[in-house]
A and B are shown apart, each in its own frame.
Chain A
Amino acid sequence: MNLTCYFSLSRFLQLLKLEWSRSRKGILITFLITFGLLFTVFILESVFSYSKICNSHPSAYAFALLTAGFILSSLAFNDLGHSLRRHNYLMLPASTFEKFFSMWLLTCAGWIIAFTLVYILYSAGANALGHLFFSDRTYIAFSPVARIPVNAICYYLAIQGVFLVGAVHFRGFVFPKTILALLIFGMVCGIIFYFTMSDLFQTNPEFINEYSVLKNNALYKVWMMVRWMFRWLLAPLCWVITCLGLKEQEV
């Protein structure tokens, strides 16, 4: 089997260069908007917050990483949504895996690394400005290895694939369509969960408060399995679906 059918490093690097060249403006605009909004919120917090200690960076980082990252991921295969650009993209001499992997690098690993680095610089700058203009307040330095940022990165790694699937399968308005699909999926899961657990809720009133009751229940194992699947299977499954979706694209 000739592996260059699927992956050739020189071709992949060339593709990465091409994709970066084509999408750098979009990524730059995403950064500008995101950090512009973050700074606005930071100033508002400094002005209006009752607390003298400002520690909003971890949650702001998590929110911005997830939201802007998902929007960026929704734009990943933007060419497929335009009839004229679509066949340029499909005719580009690179394998489906290379096309997927280059986008994954830009929108997942690349995004996390670039966003985190820029956020570290931004938070340092914002905190310095905060100290300068609001000297009565204390600004806590941002640490990317704290619990909230690390959790946000883990959630991003797990869920981002869903938006890549959306980017391949939806034509236009990818982000809202993917969010809608996720909401519908969530509602279906919620309804199933409710009907499965309703007996338990009604027969064990302490069920909601007592973790041990929940832990001893047979359904707990199912829940743990779902959680494990979410953490470890959702992303790879989405990557495979994205690759297959790319391969099956026609004009």
Chain B
Amino acid sequence: MIKIENLSFSYHHRKLLFDRLNLVLPPGNIYGLLGRNGAGKTTLLKIIAGLLFPKTGRIDVMGFYPKDRHPQFLSEIFLIAEEFNLPSMKMEHFVHLYSPFYPRFNHNLFKEYSEELKLPEEEKLSVMSYGQKKNFLLSFGLATDSRLLILDEPTNGLDIPSKSRFRKIVANAIHDERSFIISTHQVRDMENLIDPIIILDEGKIIFSQDCERISGRLAFTKQAEIADRKGLVYYESVLGGYAVVKENTEHDETRMNLELLFNAVISNKEEINAIFNS
């Protein structure tokens, strides 16, 4: 679905943000793109969407070169940005005007999502709360049945029930021909939803693994104290002891902790890579 080869990118007169970046994303998955602030997550998503142009390298998204902004490409991709602007019109009017641009737009599905997310039909989009606007865009984006849905920090501004509903709706909307890329630094919100996990740091993909492989290679445990640091990839103090990431040599079945994994990869990427490459 997405193939990026030797991609380089920099903003005007600044140093390269991506230098020969490579990434292959097959269809049918909900990719979690994680990274610190300024790691380049949003920039990468914008390049995939054709909103920013790479300096060098090749990028193929569903057989299209995003820079061309081919109408068929644009109808197969839907981006929900972290910050957005919605026109001053009612939901129904927006759907009436914009849905014809998406050939497989499903009105019943949109109605279903908007009811589930409790969107106020009579209010204008511009006066809705930030969370409601985001839920509206999510409902619309999912109803387009576009093959690639890009969500940049989708849970920012959502209340707790909305976050649960978001996870449920997104998990049910995926199919073999479709991919979602969810960029976030709120990793707790995305647990049990995103798979594979891609971690971007300083313009490089430093980690890209599916959850099954992660669970097979790493064990996430809690220890009362750290007696011997040998074999530990990462640990941090938590209430009543230490949360630990270590190589899963015993083939234990532990529950993956996304936040711990992220911190482990960021702070000890060489060792993590060594474990996954062994």
Contact = CB atoms under 8 A, between A and B. Distances in A.
A91 B97 contact: no
B186 to A, nearest CB: 21
Interface in A30-82: 82
Interface in B204-262: none
Given A11-B71, A11-B101, A247-B69, A91 B83 contact: no
Contacts of B46: 87, 251
Interface in A76-104: 82, 84-85, 87-88, 90-96, 98
B69 to A, nearest CB: 7
A156 B105 CA distance: 41
B172 interface: no
A8 B101 contact: no
A199 interface: no
A96 B69 contact: yes
A229 interface: no
Contacts of B102: 93
A2 to B, nearest CB: 9
Which residue among B69, B72, B87, B98 has the maximum number of chain A CB atoms within 10 Å of its CB? Answer: B69
B97 A17 contact: yes
A92 B69 CA distance: 9
B137 to A, nearest CB: 10
Nearest to A21: B97
B74 interface: yes
A216 interface: no
Contacts of B77: 91
A14 B101 contact: yes
A217 B46 CA distance: 58
Interface of B: 46, 49-53, 69-72, 74-75, 77-79, 81, 83-85, 87, 93, 97-98, 100-102
Interface of A: 4-5, 8, 10-11, 14, 17-18, 21-22, 82, 84-85, 87-88, 90-96, 98, 247, 250-251
